[in-house]
């Protein structure tokens, strides 16, 4: 079962994939927070390959969440939305580092 996550989200929960795999069973699962779906944090069944090939045919780029939902992905809720923060700039990194230093974000939590 392929598991995926973005390279610019360094605060992902330690139990992310354990919980997703457990929820997925033989299917798919994606993370969700109060901000909504987090489809770049997901597990996919190998059996979804034909669906992915069809969805990407002709250079199409459908939303990842839409493809996951089309194969019946389970949503797994994670309480701490900041764990899914994308850090794309030095300013993003500095802002998160400041919050960690103030104790607002626990890097040793789940």
pLDDT digits (tens, 9 = 90+) for 28-86: 999 999 999 999 999 999 999 999 999 999 999 999 999 999 999 999 999 988 899 89
Alpha helices in the chain (DSSP H): 16-24, 49-56, 64-70, 90-101
Give dist(CA 108, CA 66) in Å, integer.
Answer: 32
Give dist(CA 49, CA 27) in Å, integer.
Answer: 12
Give dist(CA 30, CA 20) in Å, integer.
Answer: 7
Supply the pLDDT for residue 107: 66
pTM of the model: 0.86
Q: What angle do CA 23, 28, 30 make, to 5 degrees?
A: 75
């Amino acid at each position: 079962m392929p598991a995926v996550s973005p390279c610019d989200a360094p605060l992902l929960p330690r139990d992310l994939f354990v919980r997703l795999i457990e929820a997925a069973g033989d299917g798919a699962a994606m993370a969700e927070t109060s901000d909504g779906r987090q489809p770049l944090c997901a597990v996919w069944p190998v059996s979804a390959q034909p669906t992915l090939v069809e969805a990407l045919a002709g250079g199409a780029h459908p939303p990842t969440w839409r493809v996951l939902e089309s194969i019946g992905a389970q949503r797994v809720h994670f309480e701490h939305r900041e764990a899914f923060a994308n850090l794309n700039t030095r300013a993003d990194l500095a802002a998160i580092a400041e919050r960690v230093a103030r104790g607002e974000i626990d890097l040793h939590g789940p």
